[in-house]
Structure 1
């Protein structure tokens, strides 16, 4: 089932590299507009939010649409790793507020080590 939006976390990725990847994968990017600590643009018709250092060295990338080229976070994370060569983390599936706390710490890590499920406390 297609997720309503896509969110991945990228370690040490530059905003310019992400912009270039989005332009190729999704569509031309509008200039980034800074709003506080976040940056917003559109890749094609898809609203995008970039939050540098959202969790330590990890940057958050949110694509606010269900019409991305990817069915879910994991598919996007795989594509981002292939294009950018930096470690990517994402939730293993859609996450709901009412799910158990321990499920909130379950993440998929995609890196040169391969793909693995990890525990990552982000709070």
Structure 2
């Protein structure tokens, strides 16, 4: 089932590289609007939010649409890893608060070597 939005975390990558990848994967990006640490644009028709170094060396990329080229976070993470050559993390599926805090720390790590499940405490 297609996710309503996509969120991935990218390690040690800068916004110009992400912009170039989004333009190649989705379509032209509008100019980034900056509000504090948050950057927003549209890639094609998709609203995009970038939070540089949201968690340590990890930056958050949120694609706020179900109309992305990817079925879910993992598919997007794999594409980002391949295109940008960086480690990417994403949730193993949709998460809500009823699932409990322990499940909130379950993440998928995507590298050139493949995908593995990890525990990532982000707070």
Residue aligning to 1:109: 109
The CA deviation at 1:113 is 3.4
Distance 2:71 2:98 in 1: 23
2:2 aligned with 1:2: yes
**Structure 1 unmatched ranges of 5 or more:** none
**Structure 2 unmatched ranges of 5 or more:** none
Report matched runs for 1:45-56 at 5 Å. Answer: 45-56=45-56
* Post-superposition CA distance 1:67-86 (Å, at most 9, x none): 00001000000000010000
Distance 2:67 2:97 in 1: 23
Comparing 105-114 with 77-86, which one deviates more in the overlay?
105-114
Are the counterparts in 1 of residues 82 and 112 from structure 2 also a CA contact under 8 Å? no
The CA deviation at 1:118 is 0.2
Distance 1:35 1:97 in 2: 28
Report matched runs for 1:1-123 at 5 Å. Answer: 1-123=1-123
Distance 1:52 1:122 in 2: 15
RMSD: 0.7
The CA deviation at 1:111 is 1.0
The CA deviation at 1:114 is 2.0
* Post-superposition CA distance 1:56-110 (Å, at most 9, x none): 0000000000000001000000000010000000000011121111100000001
Runs of 4+ in 1 over 4 A off after TM superposition: none
Distance 2:76 2:12 in 1: 17
